[in-house]
């Protein structure tokens, strides 16, 4: 991998995780960074607050780019559990597959996964946009509160269980909907949002009108005995 | 004929011990509403507690310290294991996690003011950190909860310590709940939720499961906060020996153990009353776990759930805790359950001392509410003074006992200073039954 001319390199074969993260977290850090030999290390490029561009050249372990703010992180490989968890802003792009809880509780920013995502993708998400080119596992968007989850492939069981106000778009099949999640009409506003998201995710070969839209039936918003079987 | 006359051919009317008055009201309430009973607070049942222990004091074989002259230290340092910046408190009595949402902004401010005045910490809750709370708390512990409502890395970095909440004593294994009445516009915004809905929080963390994952999660949080802040792990008392062992294994600096007397903002009555252990039963196995790992005093232990007085503090510390946390007692110090509110409680179908509809948000004391009119009733400056007074009294009470036991620091209190008053307490604590050198299980019987 040869980066742009001003790219700064970081080799985890010879430096520690602490050195990596503290360098990237340092006030005023800027420009492009390339991390070599990540070797599936956990907590890579976490807690970034500077608008830096970081490329992780290989596989990442748990919580890659966790709690990201403003940085743009690309993972040239697979990502472990909780990639971009609690992201606030910026972007994270996984070129391979992501394990479970991708984008968990993310408040903002953009997470793009080129491959598949495991279980609980977008769990408790709070405003981020998550775009998965492949499929997502079971319980994705569980208790998801706001933001958008776009799945170009299929969704596993219990999609959107106990959903609040996140919009879910799925192009392929949905194995099953979770409690209080229902298919909604695709409104012109939804189509516009989805078109924008696909474009943001760099997806040009798939059209917005190929998706179905899912959302909260809002039946669990207040406790009611007649919904007891759903609790 | 007197009024006391009764028909000797009949027995007195007799109430059932099984179907007592309260049980009957529970069944009738369930039948009428079709939804389980939700309330605030901790368990109300009678349990083995610190009242079942006594200190022996000094006499011929132990020298006491002069009550008002000789030094008896009360300070505690938390987070010495890995954190670069452990926190140093002047008293081992801390304020437990309670959310803005569950409590009014005024109540949170009062807790911060009171705790800061006496040099101890206060703790955020589900829903995040408010600027007021940060501003009024000199030492603030930031809770990291399964819901991650309001969880913001900027706040994480502003905290003095971070408490990863696995569970709480009122509901080990249960998630949170905040009913629509309390989801005001501000609370809803902080939690990214629609206003006025019944909010359910998750019972499990969204991105880790089990101690091996937790170890990685703790590393991530340390990496994000430059390894500066003590990381606490809080568990509800259920299997304390194993839970504390696993928290230590996961890399905690401090473990927090909350008994079933610990309060909650809102949970099912059946959960509060039937799940978890009383704190008295949980401390000894927790301390044993730390000792077996060689980590007692290296990983500090904070216990909570039913701490009311300096005697409770002293007993918890003598059993091996490093500090305690109070929640319900702090609310009472702020004015909750006050006899002055009898008329207002009566309107809500309660009496001073019984009020537990914290979930309703109609608290006449202005504490467990988001109603601006009610919340205004609590003066945060006066409330802060009351909290400071109460914390000071507890600390002085604990010192009184420690000096009587000849201890120059609260942390020098030890199990040898204590006896148990009954078999249950003796079995749970492995302290000798008063007047004997025996506890159940000792020497095989």
How many structural domains does chain B have?
Answer: 1
C-alpha distance from A118 to closest chain B C-alpha (Å): 12
Of A49, A51, A15, nearest to A35 by C-alpha is: A15
Q: pLDDT digit of tens for each residue in chain B (445 aa)?
A: 556 667 889 999 999 999 999 999 999 999 998 888 999 999 999 999 999 999 999 999 999 999 878 999 999 999 999 999 999 999 999 999 999 989 999 999 999 999 999 999 999 998 899 998 999 999 999 999 999 999 999 999 999 999 999 999 999 999 877 778 888 888 888 888 888 888 878 899 999 999 999 999 999 999 999 999 999 999 999 999 999 999 999 999 999 999 999 999 999 999 999 999 999 999 999 999 999 999 999 999 999 999 999 999 999 999 999 999 999 999 999 999 999 999 999 999 999 999 999 988 999 999 999 999 999 999 999 999 999 999 999 999 999 999 999 999 999 999 999 999 999 999 999 999 999 999 999 987 6
pLDDT of residue A231: 59
Q: What does pTM read for this prediction?
A: 0.96
List the single best residue of A40, A43, A111 to mutate versus B (max B Cβ within 10 A).
Answer: A43
Other C-beta atoms closer than 10 Å to the C-beta of B381 total 11
Confidence of residue A230 (pLDDT cuts 50, 70, 90): low
Taking every pair of C-alpha atoms in chain A, what is the biggest distance, in angstroms? 64
Q: Whole-angstrom Cα distance, residue B315 to residue B418?
A: 8
Of B249, B232, B183, B162, nearest to A67 by C-alpha is: B162
Of A167, A177, A182, nearest to A125 by C-alpha is: A167
- Does A214 touch chain B if contact means CB atoms closer than 8 Å? no
User: Considering chain A, what percentage of its residues have pLDDT values greater than 90?
Assistant: 92
Q: Whole-angstrom Cα distance, residue A162 to residue B325?
A: 33
Helix (H) or strand (E) holding B116: helix B105-117
- DSSP assignment of A5-25, as one string? TT-EEEETTTS-HHHHHHHHH
Whether B95 is covered by a domain: the verdict is yes
Intra-chain end-to-end CA distance of chain A, in Å: 50
Q: Do B223 and A120 touch (CB under 8 A)?
A: no
CATH label of the domain that carries residue B300: 3.20.20.70
With beta carbons under 8 A apart, name residues in chain B contacting A88. Answer: 152-153
- DSSP assignment of B29-51, as one string? HHHHH-S--EE-SS--S----GG
Q: Whole-angstrom Cα distance, residue A92 to residue A73?
A: 5
With beta carbons under 8 A apart, name residues in chain B contacting A145. Answer: 191-193
Q: Note the helical H segments in B367-429.
A: 372-375, 380-404, 423-429
Q: Is B154 helix (H, G, I), strand (E, B) or coil?
A: helix
In the stretch 7-66 of chain A, residues with CB closer than 8 A to chain B read 17-18, 21-22, 25, 42-43, 46-47, 49, 61-63, 66
In the stretch 121-160 of chain A, residues with CB closer than 8 A to chain B read 123-124, 126-127, 142-143, 145-146
| Residues A63, B208 contacting (CB under 8 angstroms) | no
pLDDT mean over A58-85: 98
Q: Note the helical H segments in B34-104.
A: none
pLDDT digits (tens, 9 = 90+) for A152-201: 999 999 999 999 999 999 999 999 999 999 999 999 999 999 999 999 99
Show the domain range for B89. Answer: 38-414
pLDDT mean over A53-75: 98
Whether B13 is covered by a domain: the verdict is no
B161-197 burial code (b ≥16 CB/10 A, e <16):
bbbbbbbbbbbbebbbbbbbebbbeebbebbbbbebb
| Residues B412, B402 contacting (CB under 8 angstroms) | yes
Whether B51 is covered by a domain: the verdict is yes
Whether B424 is covered by a domain: the verdict is no
Whether B80 is covered by a domain: the verdict is yes
pLDDT digits (tens, 9 = 90+) for B113-144: 999 999 999 999 988 999 989 999 999 999 99
ipTM (interface pTM): 0.95
Whether B7 is covered by a domain: the verdict is no
Q: Whole-angstrom Cα distance, residue B445 to residue B438?
A: 10
- Residue B160, classified by CB atoms within 10 Å of its CB into exposed (0-12), middle (13-18) or buried (19+), is buried
Whether B359 is covered by a domain: the verdict is yes
């Amino acid at each position: 991998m040869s980066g742009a001319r001003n790219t700064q390199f970081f080799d985890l074969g010879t430096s520690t995780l602490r050195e990596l993260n503290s360098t990237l977290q340092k006030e005023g850090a800027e420009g492009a960074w390339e991390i070599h030999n990540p070797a599936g290390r956990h907590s890579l490029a976490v807690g970034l607050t500077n608008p830096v561009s970081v490329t992780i050249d290989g596989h990442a372990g748990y919580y890659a780019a966790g709690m990201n703010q403003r940085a743009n992180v690309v993972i040239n490989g697979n990502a472990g559990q909780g990639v971009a968890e609690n992201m606030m802003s910026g972007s994270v792009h996984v070129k391979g597959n992501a394990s479970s809880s991708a984008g968990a509780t993310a408040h903002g920013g953009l997470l793009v996964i080129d491959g598949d995502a495991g279980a609980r993708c977008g769990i408790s998400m709070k405003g981020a946009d998550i775009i998965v080119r492949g499929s997502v596992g079971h319980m994705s968007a569980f208790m998801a509160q706001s933001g958008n989850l776009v799945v170009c492939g299929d969704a596993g069981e219990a999609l959107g269980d106990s959903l609040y106000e996140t919009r879910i778009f799925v192009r392929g099949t949905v194995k099953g909907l979770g409690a209080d999640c229902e298919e909604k009409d695709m409104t012109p506003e939804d189509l516009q949002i989805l078109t924008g998201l696909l474009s943001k995710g760099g997806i040009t070969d798939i059209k917005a009108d190929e998706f179905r839209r899912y959302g909260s039936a809002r039946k669990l918003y207040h406790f009611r005995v007649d919904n007891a079987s759903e609790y | 004929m007197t009024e006391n006359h009764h028909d000797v051919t009949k027995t007195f009317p007799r109430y059932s011990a099984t179907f007592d008055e309260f049980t009957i009201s529970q069944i009738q309430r369930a039948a009428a509403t079709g939804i389980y009973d939700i309330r605030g607070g901790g368990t109300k049942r009678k349990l083995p507690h610190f009242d079942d222990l006594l200190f022996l004091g000094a006499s011929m074989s132990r020298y006491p310290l002069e009550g008002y002259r000789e030094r008896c230290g009360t300070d505690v340092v938390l987070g010495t294991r890995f954190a670069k910046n452990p926190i140093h408190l002047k008293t081992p009595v801390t304020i437990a996690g309670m959310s803005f949402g569950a409590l009014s902004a005024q109540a949170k401010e009062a807790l911060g003011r009171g705790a800061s005045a006496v040099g101890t910490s206060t703790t955020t809750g589900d829903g995040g950190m408010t600027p007021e709370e940060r501003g009024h708390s000199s030492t603030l512990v930031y809770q990291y909860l399964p819901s991650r409502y309001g969880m913001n890395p900027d706040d994480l970095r502003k905290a003095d310590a971070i408490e990863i909440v696995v569970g709480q004593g009122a509901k080990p294994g249960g998630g949170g709940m905040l009913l629509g009445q309390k989801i005001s516009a501000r609370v809803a915004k902080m939690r990214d939720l629609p206003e006025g809905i019944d909010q359910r929080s998750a019972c499990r963390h969204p991105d880790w499961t089990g101690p091996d994952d937790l170890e990685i999660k703790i590393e991530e949080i340390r990496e994000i906060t430059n390894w500066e802040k003590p990381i606490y792990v809080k568990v509800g008392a259920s299997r304390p020996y194993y839970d504390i062992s696993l928290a230590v294994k996961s890399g905690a600096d401090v473990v927090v153990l909350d008994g079933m007397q610990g309060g909650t903002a809102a949970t099912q009555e059946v959960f509060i009353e039937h799940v978890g252990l009383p704190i008295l039963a949980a401390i000894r196995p927790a301390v044993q776990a730390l000792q077996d790992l060689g980590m007692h005093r290296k990983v500090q232990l904070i216990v909570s759930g039913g701490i009311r007085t300096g005697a409770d503090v002293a007993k918890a510390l003598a059993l091996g805790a490093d500090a305690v946390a109070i929640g319900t007692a702090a609310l009472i110090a702020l004015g909750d359950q006050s006899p002055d509110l009898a008329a207002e409680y009566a309107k809500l179908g309660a009496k001073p001392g019984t009020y537990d509809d914290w979930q309703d948000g109609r608290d006449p004391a202005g504490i467990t509410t988001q109603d601006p009119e009610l919340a205004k009733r609590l003066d945060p400056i006066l409330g802060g003074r009351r909290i400071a007074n109460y914390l000071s009294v507890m600390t002085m009470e604990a010192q009184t006992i420690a000096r009587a036991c000849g201890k120059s620091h609260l942390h020098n209190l030890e199990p040898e200073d204590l006896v148990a008053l009954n078999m249950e307490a003796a079995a749970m604590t492995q302290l000798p039954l008063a007047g004997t050198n025996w506890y159940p299980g000792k020497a095989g019987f």
